Chain A
């Protein structure tokens, strides 16, 4: 079924505006996606009518909030097909989710001389937390490289994983290359040697239906604001067998069972990892975003996004001197590129003058820049509310701007 995009666009009033005298073309969805009115309204309605701090009082306002928050958790559980809601932890976003695992898993399971594997195509948020933990523990960070096309050298995993490997962290989808990584194969190889796997799903969750049980991943992290939800809310899914054995990340309210000055005992999952007042407004908004996706036949939206990417790739390749970084056969969401002789900053600045929003810079992935020997890239990233007409306008804009240099 072909989704009715003009109808969907009405749910995103932000798209219908003039920027620098031109109709806005929003191609920076991998940085943050826009929110439908259904999400904004749910959040507003909640803030205007139901607010009370969760899990802490007997009054009706607090009960309403607690109920909304916990039913939000259930929505996420279903979306991920997690075995139980206690395995769904609300965080500030993917970055906090990964930091939480790096810290708490590291405390429980990693000691001097142990090894952690990440890949060359990771976002800094899936490198630095591991680096910090490795420094603290005297552990070693090992890197799985990718090919010129932007595919991970999976074959190298067998030798990279040793008896010392404690965890492997990999992106579901690369934020620069758009590569969809072969998670099933990676997880199978890691599990063969009893190594758990964390998936950075920041760019994956917005483009796929996730089934953490079918994937058999040990951790899956994603952000609300890239999934048409609010900023400041994210999720860490973790298998209970790991979460139970990991110490808390932050100390404070909600995560405790009983405090005395001699000894504090911790609350059960998921609260053990939700210190302080959680961002329940965000969680409610995220649940609304997931429900929005469900009401719109996710599968056809995914297919439509893929068609947009194929069309954009075909068009951009017609431009002389344009190089696309990341040409794996299985790709989604993003096209990163450079045009010979034009600095990405210049291109981004001029595109903005034409109402076109793209990302430029190092894309929070210095190792990917180093791999290709470039300082910066331009990245266009798509969502299901984008259109073929916008891709055509983008293509024409690039041709016109190329003439200026």
Chain B
């Protein structure tokens, strides 16, 4: 599935919720279901620090694709992290660089990716793109 198709699927998943509480309950469920990051990666070097919550992000580059693993200490953030992983993980650097997380706007949770929310999510997206940029350069140099 392309990044865009995954985003579309998420938007459809959320369109069924009428009540804000159902929406957040679903995010909490996603957060609870997200497999925890390997403890050896839950280290300072992988920590994205927000004033409000923390996100840990780890990546590996295999066969031209970046595999992301991430976790947060706040459950709603973790739910959103799960969505971001679903969208961006296991894609090529070029695909990642070419795509913005538009779903967040469409499911009515834009405020969580705004610079005024220091929950680490915006920094996580930036960090994923930076990794993509770096791997894109490395691949280009190796050709």
Q: Which of B25, B73, B75 contacts A375 (CB 8 A)?
A: B73
Stretch at the interface among A145-153, A233-241, A280-288, A342-350: A342-350
Q: Which of A20, A345, A405 contacts B53 (CB 8 A)?
A: A345
CA distance A342 to B73 in the complex (A): 10
Closest Cβ of chain A: how far from B124's Cβ, in Å?
14
Closest to B32 in A: A405
CA distance A375 to B55 in the complex (A): 13
Query: Would B75 and A405 count as touching, CB distance under 8 A?
Result: yes
Interface residues of A, dominant DSSP = mixed
Closest to A341 in B: B75
Chain B residues 1-44 with CB under 8 Å of chain A are 20-21, 24-25, 28
Query: Would A345 and B20 count as touching, CB distance under 8 A?
Result: no
Query: Would A404 and B25 count as touching, CB distance under 8 A?
Result: yes
Interface extent on B, as a size class? 10 to 19
Chain A residues 339-394 with CB under 8 Å of chain B are 342-346, 348-350, 353, 360-362, 375-376
Closest Cβ of chain B: how far from A24's Cβ, in Å?
16
Closest Cβ of chain B: how far from A32's Cβ, in Å?
15
Q: Which residues of A contact B53 (CB under 8 A)?
A: 343, 345, 376
CA distance A360 to B76 in the complex (A): 14
Query: Would B21 and A345 count as touching, CB distance under 8 A?
Result: no
Query: Would B119 and A345 count as touching, CB distance under 8 A?
Result: yes
Chain A residues 61-85 with CB under 8 Å of chain B are none
Query: Would B24 and A350 count as touching, CB distance under 8 A?
Result: yes
Chain B residues close to A by CB (< 8 Å): 20-21, 24-25, 28, 51-54, 73-77, 112, 118-119
* Pairs A–B under 8 Å by Cβ, sample size 24: A20-B20, A342-B75, A343-B73, A343-B75, A343-B76, A344-B52, A344-B74, A345-B52, A345-B53, A345-B74, A345-B76, A345-B77, A345-B119, A346-B74, A346-B77, A349-B112, A350-B24, A350-B76, A361-B51, A361-B52, A361-B118, A376-B53, A404-B21, A404-B25
Chain A residues close to B by CB (< 8 Å): 20, 342-346, 348-350, 353, 360-362, 375-376, 404-405
- CB-based closest 5 A-B pairs: A343-B74, A345-B74, A345-B53, A345-B52, A346-B76
